[in-house]
């Protein structure tokens, strides 16, 4: 019998388990059946994931006595759009579902966020289960109930907090993930160390390269550690009234860079977060909050595993500070007209800063995009 570890996101009646382990797809039907209300499920996945894992999932659902249908969407960030959201809920409604029917998101963060938002909206809310198949979605997007889509005005600007009934993170699915996607997910893994767990970051400095090169034990341990960190923060602050904002380390700069690339393959979400984290540490050092050694250590680690650490590492983009600052003004992390940054006193000591002078942010961006 394959092994897995179970964590819990404690949210009262909306609490749910996260199972992390090998061979979980084969057990998915048996694990899902007790947490949903009907025999009928709709699997939502993308064109890359379907040929790899949909058949195994369907066999497992069938063996458990669940009737499944599937919807396969194009892969990529562009699918997290109003057009595909409409296409998805139309397809779901055309299947004549009732409120007991459940959705299963099989794929990365794009499929998870979109499917979760459909689950929150269709018939005013139906059950959904996350089966994340990228490192990024296993350590971050599948946990915590942030669902949604992008808009022409920015990333994740339309959505809902809506918790899944269960998360199944099958480490075996990472075997087929392209290295670039593994690295993008790794940027978010290291984020947990940088937020409040310096020992975890130190461990990652030792094993990060092996993890990114496919070491299953390290991947398993890192997914468990990351989900544990995230589950704790989400349980304390489900709707981001306070501490949950720390999970946005790197996102203020990162979303801005992503928006400027048009959410394209030029810069993956996780890569943007990694770059954003380097810039957030840069800004922290510039403001005298952390040391230059901290900045160097963070960037050196991201570089060591093979992640970009400067916007100038991104091919095919000419950056412009005004355009980047303009995107920043559209981000949802604005309160009373002030942009929220997550800054650091040290590695593992981050905090929410809402009083940053934009001249300082401008200087950091100016320096970062200069090619000399
Ligand atoms: P993704 O969903 O686009 O997946 C990346 C690529 O990998 C896609 O081409 C996909 O088809 C492919 N893929 C997925 N699993 C695979 C597998 N096992 N083998 C081979 N290929 C596979 O991207 P992502 O990095 O998983 O997620 C990024 C999205 O997650 C962004 O939209 C981001 O905003 C969102 N996100 C949400 C949260 C949240 O809390 N909801 C947190 C972080 C990120
Ligand atoms: N990825 C940030 C959050 O879930 O809050």
Q: What is the pLDDT of residues 165-213, one digit of tens each?
A: 999 999 999 999 999 999 999 999 999 999 999 999 999 999 999 999 9
- Position 332 scores a pLDDT of 65
For residues 262, 268, 271 and 276, what is the CA-based torsion angle, rounded to 10 degrees? 30
List Cβ<8 Å contacts ≥24 apart for 212-218.
212/179, 212/182, 212/183, 212/186, 212/305, 212/306, 214/174, 214/175, 214/182, 216/22, 216/171
Does residue 170 have its Cβ closer than 6 Å to ligand 1? no
- Position 47 scores a pLDDT of 98
Q: Is 240 a catalytic residue?
A: yes
Name the strands in the sheet holding 166-170, side by side, starting at the edge strand that comes first in the sequence: 4-9, 16-21, 166-170, 127-132, 102-107, 40-46, 67-73
CA of 369 to the centre of ligand 2 (A): 27
- Position 192 scores a pLDDT of 98
Structural domains present in the chain = 4-176 (3.40.50.1970), 179-369 (1.20.1090.10)
Sign, CA torsion 158/314/109/253: negative
Does residue 142 have its Cβ closer than 6 Å to ligand 1? no
Sign, CA torsion 128/85/341/292: positive
Does residue 249 have its Cβ closer than 6 Å to ligand 2? no
CA of 55 to the centre of ligand 2 (A): 30
Strands 334-335, 338-339: parallel, antiparallel or unpaired by DSSP? Answer: antiparallel
21 to 1, 51, 123, 171: CA distances (angstroms):
11, 21, 33, 6
Q: Is 255 a catalytic residue?
A: yes
Listed residue (98, 100, 129) closest to 112, CA to CA: 129
- Position 337 scores a pLDDT of 75
- Below-50 pLDDT ranges, the chain: none
CA of 95 to the centre of ligand 2 (A): 32
Q: Is 218 a catalytic residue?
A: no
- Position 280 scores a pLDDT of 98
* Annotated active-site residue in 19, 218, 228, 244: 244
Q: Which residue do the tokens 């690339």 mark? A: 261
Does residue 140 have its Cβ closer than 6 Å to ligand 2? yes
């Amino acid at each position: 019998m394959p092994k897995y570890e179970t964590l819990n996101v404690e949210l009262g009646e909306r609490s749910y388990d996260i199972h992390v382990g090998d061979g979980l797809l084969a057990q998915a039907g048996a694990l899902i059946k007790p947490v949903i209300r009907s025999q009928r499920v709709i699997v939502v996945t993308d064109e890359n994931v379907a040929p790899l894992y949909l058949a195994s999932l369907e066999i497992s659902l069938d063996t458990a006595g669940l009737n499944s249908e599937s919807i396969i969407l194009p892969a990529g960030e562009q699918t997290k759009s109003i057009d595909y959201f409409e296409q998805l809920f139309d397809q779901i409604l055309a299947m004549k579902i009732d409120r007991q029917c459940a959705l299963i998101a099989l794929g990365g963060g794009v499929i998870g966020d979109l499917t979760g938002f459909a689950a929150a909206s269709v018939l005013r809310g139906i059950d959904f289960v996350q089966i994340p198949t990228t490192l990024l979605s296993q350590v971050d997007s599948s946990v915590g109930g942030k669902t949604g889509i992008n808009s022409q005005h920015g990333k994740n600007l339309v959505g809902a907090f809506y918790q899944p009934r269960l998360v199944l993170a099958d480490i075996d699915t990472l075997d087929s993930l392209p290295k670039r996607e593994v690295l993008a997910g790794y940027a978010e893994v290291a984020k947990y160390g940088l937020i409040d767990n310096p020992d975890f970051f130190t461990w990652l400095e030792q094993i990060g390269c092996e993890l990114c090169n496919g070491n299953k034990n390290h991947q398993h341990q890192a997914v468990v550690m990351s989900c544990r960190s995230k589950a704790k923060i989400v349980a304390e602050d489900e709707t981001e009234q306070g501490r949950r904002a720390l999970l946005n380390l790197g996102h203020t700069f990162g979303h801005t860079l992503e928006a400027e690339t048009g959410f394209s393959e030029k810069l993956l979400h996780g890569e943007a977060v990694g770059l954003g984290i380097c810039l957030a540490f840069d800004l922290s050092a510039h403001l005298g909050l952390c040391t230059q050694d901290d900045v160097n250590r963070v960037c050196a680690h991201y570089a060591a595993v093979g992640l970009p650490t400067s916007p100038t590492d991104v091919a095919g983009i000419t950056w412009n500070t005004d355009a980047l600052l303009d995107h920043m003004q559209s981000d949802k992390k604005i309160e009373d007209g002030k942009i929220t940054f997550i800054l650091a006193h040290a590695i593992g000591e981050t905090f929410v800063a809402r009083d940053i002078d934009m001249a300082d942010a401008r200087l950091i961006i100016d320096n970062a995009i200069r090619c000399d």
